[in-house]
């Protein structure tokens, strides 16, 4: 750790406001990703499209008290805080990382090139990890911001570092090179990515090679490096007999490739479980690195055979009308286009191949040459339909496409969205690929639209009202975690979370990673706890900054290993203790072992420790609730003996917030109460119902006595009757248990009973006693006039089941008065 006073000296800043001399462990620039506020330093970075100074208030509310700024701030609004003023906050961030780097004298591998940087870095990690304690760039942290954040992770336990550096224009590498200061350099390749920032390929090469000023040698392809500025320290590979490592044979097989090299007149032979050219080149680069580090040929063989793929940006998802979508809506350059088209071609689905493309940005090529190349690539990969968006691609690409490729042209993304017709896409594999500025993620969302006539109305005012009802009953300083699992109890996770975030809730809780991902994609930045994490979701948890619940030693060990494999440290997790629910959680007999493990872990940090109350709403079970609480508090006390930092403690749910106020502790978990459902014996809260499930009458029938309704003829008309068919069935979540008069619906101020069996998409009700009823009239299944508690009682269940059972095909409508 560095003190804030020391940091001020390093970056040559001045205190605009000085408080306590805090210790800093984490550097933060994104207000959405704050885990450990007490030891974090916020850099108010300015970019072309945003300004970190605009988020200082938000960051302050999240607990950060140390700031680096470059413009005037209303300091009176932020008491007990340290504000350091510098001319340029990005330069200050880089200066601090440079100073930190100077304290380490271990091998540092610096990687640059047009493509493959992250793959080479991750494969080197896989190959070297058994023998080194490695620090490396997380994900693709290779930018002017990402590099200093990567280097900041270095500590004296590390024995080797692997950092990547990416640039997009002249003058950038001079800032990154001294921060990384590599002792070993790797140049992956020279492609077309980011060429628009350079006058020529030679200028781009010269700029990138600046990274290796401090390196003792540079590994790369002979054809690129042999006449470059780093010739004298080049460790090259290639077909040439002048290369340091000669490629003698490459034999591609069904699912693997045999690679034969020659180094110092000795054969080097190994196999990789990949067949594409990019993987082969990356593997040879990694092999050269290991040869330089002194690895034996036998060690090479074993390591390369175990390589596993690195998940990059391409995503394959099922979509509307039997389509499959490959979402690569982040870049538009020739090299990555070939990668994406290869991926498209690998999908042997039997579906038509389609592409949605934006303008491309490459230097060194005329528009004619660029789009002629793209057309050839589309034909080569058997693309049958091309949707083109942008002024240049619509002008040039159609000139070079054959008549066999169907072409549609749009001026802009907005133009495409306004004219989008889902019926035009059926049984296709669609590659969506565009430059970032075209915002093709908006197009990807079009292929996921759901529509249904019956609606669930959500009153956002009621959510806020109910939240405040509980907040008024909390002890000072108690935080609130709002549970938005199960689609926010059926109400719509992202929409509800947005309201809660606006009203400064502290945490959100979800059941599964998919729910958390939805929140992140909707712009939710609050900390999100995921209660049921498993190994298949680890990548998503980290990608979307979600915090898993750790409830067993198996999940503890596997997640810790995954965090380590991603080059991360102190990842926030929540520890669940079993006290009587007997569902998930660590047994209290294992607290010493658990505390020792968490306390010593460099990769995980306990954000909170919690347990579940089994019957907090039931007065008859109050003794058991007290037993659970005592068990939990003893476990927490034990954990504090082993975990050397503070963590949040929480056990109270909606009912316990009111019935067991002594259990509010550091935080409460507000669930069903937020949605207007209160424990049966409580009347002190004035909760409002949040959700109203509505449908309407599709048709009216006038039946005679003795006629029957629905399947199996169970609904027998006892007298002449008017029967209404309602647009809701068990596929929408209206249970078949409501059949034959058990269930009722509210129409025109009266309850109308269900007659016959509930069908998949329709339910019939007897509206004989409802005056002036007509086709199209609104019907309420549950809501303000017909409480969900009453509806649940008819079939012997609880409101949770009714609310969470509303199908996703039912459209949600949100309103706020």
Q: Which residues contact 608 (CB under 8 A, 6 or more apart)?
A: 529, 574, 575, 647, 648, 649, 650, 666, 667
Whether 328 and 433 have beta carbons less than 8 Å apart is answered as yes
Phi, psi of 55 (to 5 degrees): -110, 10
Q: Which residues contact 738 (CB under 8 A, 6 or more apart)?
A: 754, 758, 763, 794, 795
Cα-based distances in Å from 84 to 6, 12, 26, 101: 11, 9, 16, 22
CA angle 141–559–480, rounded 5-degree value: 85
**Distance between CA atoms of residues 412 and 693, nearest Å:** 38
**Distance between CA atoms of residues 563 and 579, nearest Å:** 28
**Distance between CA atoms of residues 177 and 550, nearest Å:** 40
The distance of Cα 811 from the centroid of its chain, to the nearest Å, equals 24
**Distance between CA atoms of residues 447 and 443, nearest Å:** 7
Q: Is the dihedral of CA 623, 628, 629, 634 positive or negative?
A: positive
| Antiparallel, parallel or unpaired: β 528-530 and 160-164 | unpaired
Active-site position among 204, 385, 485, 744: 485
Tokens of 766: 């007897």
Whether 247 and 261 have beta carbons less than 8 Å apart is answered as yes
**Distance between CA atoms of residues 449 and 796, nearest Å:** 34
Whether 790 and 751 have beta carbons less than 8 Å apart is answered as no
Q: Which residues of 648-661 are buried (b: 16+ CB within 10 A; e: fewer)?
A: bbbbbbbbbbbbbe
**Distance between CA atoms of residues 344 and 338, nearest Å:** 10
Phi, psi of 100 (to 5 degrees): -65, -45
The distance of Cα 187 from the centroid of its chain, to the nearest Å, equals 30
Helix (H, G, I), strand (E, B) or coil at 343: helix
* Helix, strand, coil % in the chain, rounded to nearest 5: 35, 25, 40
Q: Has 485 been annotated as catalytic?
A: yes
The count of C-alpha atoms lying within 13 angstroms of the C-alpha of 45, restricted to the half-sphere facing its C-beta, is 19
What angle in degrees, to the nearest 10, is found between the helix axes of 117-128 and 297-305?
Answer: 120
**Distance between CA atoms of residues 465 and 10, nearest Å:** 49
Active-site position among 450, 468, 711, 750: 711
Phi, psi of 561 (to 5 degrees): -60, -40
Tokens of 500: 């809660």
Tokens of 736: 């078949």
Phi, psi of 416 (to 5 degrees): -65, -45
Phi, psi of 461 (to 5 degrees): -60, -40
Whether 446 and 432 have beta carbons less than 8 Å apart is answered as no
Which 3-state string (H, E, C) describes 232-262? HHEEEEECCCCCCEEEEEEEECCCCEEEEEE
**Distance between CA atoms of residues 185 and 212, nearest Å:** 6
| Antiparallel, parallel or unpaired: β 257-263 and 266-272 | antiparallel
| Antiparallel, parallel or unpaired: β 721-726 and 691-703 | antiparallel
Q: Is the dihedral of CA 327, 331, 334, 339 positive or negative?
A: negative
Tokens of 325: 């979508």
Give the residue among 554, 528, 522, 553 at the shortest CA–CA distance from 542.
528
Give the residue among 293, 52, 334, 82 at the shortest CA–CA distance from 184.
293
Q: Show which residues are catalytic.
A: 485, 711
């Amino acid at each position: 750790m560095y003190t804030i006073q020391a940091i001020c000296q390093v970056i040559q800043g001045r205190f605009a406001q000085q408080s306590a001399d805090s210790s800093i462990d984490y550097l933060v620039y994104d207000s959405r990703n704050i885990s450990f506020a007490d030891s974090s330093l916020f850099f108010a970075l300015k970019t072309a499209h945003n300004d970190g100074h605009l988020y200082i208030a938000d960051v302050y509310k999240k607990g950060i008290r140390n700031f680096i700024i470059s413009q005037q701030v209303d300091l009176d609004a932020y008491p007990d805080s340290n504000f350091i003023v510098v001319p340029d906050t990005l330069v200050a961030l880089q200066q601090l990382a440079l100073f930190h780097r100077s304290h380490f004298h271990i091998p540092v591998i610096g990687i640059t090139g047009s493509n493959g940087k992250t793959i080479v870095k991750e494969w080197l990690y896989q190959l070297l990890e058994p023998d080194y304690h490695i620090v490396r760039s997380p994900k693709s942290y290779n930018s002017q911001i990402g590099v200093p954040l990567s280097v900041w992770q270095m500590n004296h336990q590390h024995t080797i570092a692997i950092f990547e550096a990416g640039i997009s224009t002249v003058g950038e590498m001079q800032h990154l090179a001294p921060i990384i200061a590599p002792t070993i350099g790797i140049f992956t390749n020279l492609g077309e990515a980011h060429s628009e920032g350079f006058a020529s390929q030679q200028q781009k090469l010269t700029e990138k090679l600046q990274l290796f000023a401090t390196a003792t040698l540079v590994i790369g392809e002979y054809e690129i490096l042999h006449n470059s500025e780093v010739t004298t320290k080049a460790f090259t590979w290639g077909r040439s007999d002048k290369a340091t490592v000669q490629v003698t044979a490459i034999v591609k097989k069904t699912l693997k490739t045999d690679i034969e090299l020659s180094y110092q007149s000795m054969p080097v032979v190994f196999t990789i479980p990949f067949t594409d050219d990019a993987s082969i080149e990356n593997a040879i680069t990694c092999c050269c690195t290991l040869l330089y580090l002194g690895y034996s040929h036998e060690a090479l063989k074993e390591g390369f055979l175990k390589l596993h793929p690195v998940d990059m940006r391409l995503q394959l998802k099922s979509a509307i009308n039997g389509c499959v979508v490959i979402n690569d809506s982040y870049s538009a350059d020739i090299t990555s286009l070939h990668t994406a088209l290869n991926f498209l071609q690998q999908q042997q689905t039997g579906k038509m191949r389609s592409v949605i493309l934006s303008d491309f940005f490459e230097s060194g090529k005329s528009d004619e040459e660029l789009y002629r190349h793209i057309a050839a690539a589309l034909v080569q990969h058997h693309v049958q339909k091309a949707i083109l968006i942008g002024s240049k691609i619509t002008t040039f690409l159609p000139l070079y496409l054959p008549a066999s490729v169907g072409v549609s042209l749009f001026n802009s993304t907005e133009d495409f969205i306004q004219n989008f017709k889902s019926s035009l896409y059926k049984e296709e594999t669609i590659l969506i690929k565009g430059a970032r500025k075209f915002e093709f993620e908006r197009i990807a969302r079009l292929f996921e639209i759901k529509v249904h006539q019956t609606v669930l109305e959500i009153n956002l005012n009621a959510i806020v009202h109910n939240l405040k009802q509980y907040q008024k009953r909390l002890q000072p300083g108690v935080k609130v975690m709002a549970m938005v699992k199960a689609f926010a109890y059926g109400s719509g996770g992202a929409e509800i979370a947005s309201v809660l975030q606006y009203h400064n809730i502290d945490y959100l809780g979800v059941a599964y990673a998919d729910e958390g991902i939805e929140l992140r994609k909707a712009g939710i930045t609050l900390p999100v706890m995921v209660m049921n994490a498993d190994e298949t979701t680890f990548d998503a948890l980290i990608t979307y900054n979600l915090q898993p619940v750790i409830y067993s030693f198996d999940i503890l060990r596997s997640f810790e290993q995954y965090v380590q494999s991603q080059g991360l440290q102190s990842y926030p997790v929540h520890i669940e203790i079993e006290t009587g629910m007997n569902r998930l959680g660590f047994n209290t007999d294992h607290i010493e072992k658990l505390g020792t493990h968490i306390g010593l872990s460099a990769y995980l940090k306990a954000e909170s420790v919690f347990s579940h109350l089994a019957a907090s709403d039931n007065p008859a079970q109050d003794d058991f609730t007290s037993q659970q609480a005592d068990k939990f508090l003893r476990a927490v006390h034990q954990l504090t003996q082993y975990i050397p930092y503070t963590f949040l403690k929480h056990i109270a749910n909606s009912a316990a917030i009111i019935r067991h106020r002594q259990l509010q502790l550091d935080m409460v978990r507000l669930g069903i109460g937020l949605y207007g459902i209160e424990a049966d014996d409580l009347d002190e809260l004035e909760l409002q119902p949040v959700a109203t499930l509505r449908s309407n009458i599709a048709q009216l029938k006038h039946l005679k006595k003795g006629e029957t309704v629905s399947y199996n003829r169970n609904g027998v008309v006892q007298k002449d009757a008017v029967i209404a068919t309602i647009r809701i069935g068990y596929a929408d979540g209206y249970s078949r248990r409501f059949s034959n008069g058990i269930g009722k619906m509210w129409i025109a101020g009266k309850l109308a009973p269900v007659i016959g069996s509930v069908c998949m998409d329709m339910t019939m009700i007897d509206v004989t006693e409802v005056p002036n009823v007509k086709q199209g009239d609104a019907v309420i299944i549950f809501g303000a006039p017909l409480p969900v508690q009453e509806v649940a009682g008819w079939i012997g269940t609880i409101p949770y089941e009714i609310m969470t059972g509303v199908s996703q095909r039912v459209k949600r409508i949100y309103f706020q008065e």
